[in-house]
Amino acid sequence: MEIKHVAVVGSGLMGSGIAQVIATAGFSVNVFDSFPEALKKGKDAVEKSLARMVKAGKLNDEKTAEIMKRLQFTGDMKDAVRGTQLIVEAVPEIPDLKEKVFKDIEKFADKDAIFATNTSNIRITEIASVLKNPERLVGMHFFNPPAVMKLVEVIRGEKSSEENFQAVFNFSKQIGKEPIKVLKDTAGFVVNRISAPESLYFILLLENKVDSPQAIDAFAKSQALPMGPYELMDYVGIDTVLHSLEYYERTLSKDYGLAKIPAQMTKDNKLGVKTSEGFYKWVNGKAQIPSSEPSTKVQLMDVFALEINEATKLIEDGVATPADIEKGFCLGMNRPFGPVSVANGLSNREVKDKLNELYEKYRADVFKPSRSIEEGKLKEVMSGKVPDKKTDQATASTGSELINVVKTGKVARVELNNGKNNLLNSKLLNDLDRVINELNSQKDIFVVVIAGNGNVFSAGAELTEFIPSPIEFMEHSRRGERLFRKLSEMPKIVIAEMSGYVLGGGFELSLNCDIRVAHRECTIGFPETTIGLLPGWSGSQKLAKLIGQSRAAYLILTGERFTGERAMELGIVSKLFEKNELKEKTMEFAKDLSERVAPIAAALSKTLIYKGSEMSTDVGLDMESMAMGNVYSSKDFMEGISAFVQKRKPDYQNH
């Protein structure tokens, strides 16, 4: 069933925001609320939000008018849901209220309409229990504010039909969101479930008088987190935090009842921003946080260990794949990396010891190591290999394939495939290493082209990737250097097809290729020194050898970006092609080389060129003469001479 017309039930902050998102994507939306004041407030909220987008240059007045025409606000439930294919409930997080609303929806909805709930914590199965046809209900959890946050958790209840589950997932993409699949119903789903133990932890810190809220928040912000835990609780609402903890106490673990402070604050009406006072005073929507030095009594590892622990439980139980957990947590928490990435940079022993330490301090069972961590299998579970798994739902890979390889004749085209900027992270480097090793041994491939899968070669390293220590960061650098060096050591001609952004690590990747081709407009450079880094994957050495110390020093020390045309003048690029013909012309060039140049001669020439720059001329000349002896005995040499004499194209066989 194609979704064309949607109803949103509840016009509060979330409901109005969801309606705006769907209408902006081009769909007609009926917005229902039983309270006229709430309905008006919801409409006003959409208009103000759109006005802000116009002011920011993201919309114009004409587009705004079109969006508002698609929105119909009504206090009549029957009129709201009739004729719609998808009905999204967005009323307050109160189980009884949600159940009552869905009973009413079911009375008036078309028989084929899909039901979705925007609940952030309550199990879908629990809400669906009041429906005559529970298979109609799917979780569709937007994050606040819906107009800004990209994540939608799509949750399969125990009785949700696969057809409806997939339809809501696809629709989430249609409205511009990045959905993840929650394959098994659990309280809190993915993001809130992972955050639940740390919410308990931060409250227990205060109850045990470990430090003040402002000192702990200052510590969190010093670790590049966008908001401290207590400021975030105030922003979300202390009553909301309380309701979540109470629900988790009923459905996940009695340990969540150890947190007493939220109940007292709710009783005192200190709910945070909504009452202008919580952990802090709030003025004009901003927390008035007393100045404080960052706490020295908490560690970032405390938070990381709790997040990793809960993530392993989700994978063990088949709730979500590692890839969706990582994606969901990064998008939902506005964090550069999630528990899967962090776990990959830590040992099982580090995480286990920290969890046991937290358990001993606070005696909360939810802090105890998960089964996988207890058994020393953290790496396995984070890669999707679940020990003694009870379900196959969580066995997917931690990520999609990041390298595309296409072989045509004697040419292999290797395309980086990691988003629009092809950022270089550990997973991509692992894939590239494997591909290089495989191609290295394939004697029927003479030329390798390294390129980006879209309009960008690579904008550099993924700087948000979690590296736990300076020593491991140093090894990360060495690993990249060794990997890129393999390209210059391959017994094949390697061409870098430079397009779009060729920055930082992407530029270093290209410098380790034998030949570089580009279009005039591409943007090249080493921006590292402008962000406190330096070219750490051989760039400082390769560029100086290629264009001389003076020019290399200028480009590295200034961080200046330059075009493909300038790269041609500097001697970095050997050929320029038109932008719209770059791929085609590069592959034609590669094909020509694969048919015209003897592979053994090319391989030995590469060794002489690169090794010769690292040794004396006498030693280099000795190596050259030995290489001449080797090619003289090859069958390709005889074929080359024969083809030259017979005035035909040679047929080299790499032997």
pLDDT in tens, 252-285: 999 999 999 999 999 999 999 999 999 999 999 8
| Domain match, 215 and 322 both | no
pLDDT of residue 604: 86
Rounded to an integer, the average pLDDT of 29-45 is 95
Do 356 and 220 belong to one domain? no
Q: What is the span of the domain harbouring residue 560?
A: 403-589
pTM of the model: 0.69
State the pLDDT at residue 640: 74
**Does the annotation mark 5 as catalytic?**
no
Residue 651 pLDDT grade (very low, low, confident, very high; cuts 50, 70, 90):
confident
Q: Are residues 513 and 604 in the same domain?
A: no
- 295 in any annotated domain: no
83 with 138, same domain: the answer is yes
Place of tokens 């000795």: 622
* Tokens (6 digits) for 472: 């491991």
Q: What percent of the chain has pLDDT over 90?
A: 76
Residue 438 sits in the same domain as residue 584: yes
Pair (274, 210) in one structural domain? yes
The answer to whether residues 480 and 526 belong to one domain is yes
Domain end among 255, 288, 321? 288
Assigned domain for 357 exists? yes
Q: Number of folded domains in the chain?
A: 5
Give me the catalytic one of 172, 192, 594, 654: 192
Q: How far is CA 152 from CA 87, 146, 292, 328, 504, in A?
A: 16, 9, 36, 8, 33
CATH of the domain at 214: 1.10.1040.10
Same domain as 224, residue 149: no
- Active-site residue, from 120, 309, 421, 458: 120
Helix 229-236 / helix 191-207 crossing angle, nearest 10 deg: 110
Q: What is the CATH number of the domain that holds 611?
A: 1.10.12
Residue 492 lies in a domain: yes
Q: What is the per-residue pLDDT across 347-389, written as a single tens digit (0 to 9) for each?
A: 899 999 999 999 999 999 999 999 999 999 998 899 876 655 4
Asked if residue 395 has pLDDT above 60, the reply is no
With beta carbons less than 8 A apart as the criterion, state whether 97 and 127 touch: no
Is 398 contained in some domain?
Answer: no
Q: What is the pLDDT of residue 467?
A: 77
Average pLDDT of span 115-136: 96
* CB neighbour list of residue 141: distance below 8 Å, 6 or more residues apart: 118, 119, 120, 152, 153, 154, 155, 189
Q: Is residue 76 part of a domain?
A: yes
Domain shared by 11 and 50, yes or no: yes
Question: Residue 387: what pLDDT?
Answer: 54
- Supply angle C-alpha 124, 125, 130, rounded to 5: 105
Q: Is residue 42 part of a domain?
A: yes
Is 141 an active-site residue?
yes
> What's the average model confidence in pLDDT over 578-584?
94
For residue 305, is it within any domain? yes
Task: Give the residue among 493, 478, 388 at the shortest CA–CA distance from 445.
Answer: 493
What CATH number does residue 435 fall under?
Answer: 3.90.226.10
Q: Is residue 436 part of a domain?
A: yes
CATH number of the CATH domain containing 67: 3.40.50.720
Is 192 among the residues known to form the active site? yes
> Quick check: is 465 catalytic?
no
The catalytic residue among 153, 277, 307, 316 is 153
CA-based nearest residue to 70, from 142, 5, 167: 5
Please state, in angstroms and rounded to a whole number, the distance separating the CA atoms of residues 216 and 228.
7
Q: Are residues 119 and 143 in the same domain?
A: yes
Whether residue 54 sits in one domain with residue 161:
yes
Same domain, 148 and 170: yes
Q: What is the per-residue pLDDT for 619?
A: 74
Of 5, 141, 243, 519, the catalytic one is 141
- Strand segments, DSSP code E, in 1-123 are 5-9, 28-32, 71-74, 86-89, 114-117
CB 411 within 8 A of CB 447: yes
Helical packing angle, 300-316 and 348-362, nearest 10°: 100
